[in-house]
Amino acid sequence: SPADAQAAVNRTMAAAVERVKAEPEIRAATGSYSVYQRRDRDNRPVDWVAEQDLRLTSKDPAALLELAGSLQEMGLNLTGRGWQVDDETRRKVQDELTIAAIATLRHRAEAIAESIDMQVANIDTLRVGAAMEGPRPMMAMRADAAAGAPPPTALPDLETVQSHVEAEIVLSPD
C-alpha cells in the first residue's frame, strides 16, 4: 500500500539521517520525495514505491565514500556522485587567476601602446567576474528498496575554475 511504502522509506531515511549526523565533516540535505504505483507490462498494478533523496557533501572524500558504503548497507541506492572544488578553494584560485589576468592585461596593453608609439595613461574601467558558485553535492543517495553493497570507489576529476577580467585602457602620446 502507499502507506506501507511511505512508512518504509521514512524509517530508512530517518536511520540514514541519524547515521549521517555521526559524521561532523559531512553535510547532508534531504531532497525530493515521491510515491507512485509501479505497473507491469500489461499496465496492471504491481506495488507501491516511495523514494526520498539525500544529498551529501564533504571536503573529505574518503569519509564520504565510507559513509556512502554504510548507507548502501542500510538499503539506500547511490544515484549519483561528482567531485567539485569547494567554495573556499574556488575563491582562492579565482583570486589568483584574477591577479594573473590583470597582469597579463596590463602587459598586453603596454605592448599595444608601444607598438603605436603611445603609453598606457591609466586603466579607466576594470570589470572582474567569476564563475557562478553554489552548493556542490558530491553524492546523492536514494532511500528505497535496495540490497546492501560494498562502498563505492571513486576518484576526483579535473574541474575548470574561471575568472574574467575586462578593462578600458586610456592611451596617451609617448
CA 136 to chain centre: 2
Grid-cell match 562502498, residue found: 151
- In this prediction, residue 130 carries a pLDDT of 64
Per the prediction, the chain carries an average pLDDT of 80
The fraction of the chain above a pLDDT of 90, given in percent, is 17
- In this prediction, residue 147 carries a pLDDT of 45
List, for residues 110-158, the tens digit of each pLDDT value: 999 999 999 999 888 888 876 555 444 455 555 554 444 455 555 555 6
Across the range 87-94, mean pLDDT stands at: 84
Q: What residues form DSSP beta bridges with 51?
A: 34
Across the range 73-94, mean pLDDT stands at: 80
- In this prediction, residue 167 carries a pLDDT of 86
Report whether 71 contacts 16 (CB < 8 A): yes
Q: 76-81 and 26-39: which strand pairing?
A: unpaired
List, for residues 20-44, the tens digit of each pLDDT value: 888 888 888 888 888 889 999 999 9
- In this prediction, residue 142 carries a pLDDT of 55
- In this prediction, residue 157 carries a pLDDT of 58
- In this prediction, residue 152 carries a pLDDT of 55
- 87: confidence class by pLDDT, cuts 50, 70, 90: confident
- Grid coordinates representing 59 are 571536503
Q: Among 99, 89, 112, 113, which Cα is nearest to 165's?
A: 99
Q: What is the model's pTM? A: 0.56
pLDDT at 83 over 80: no
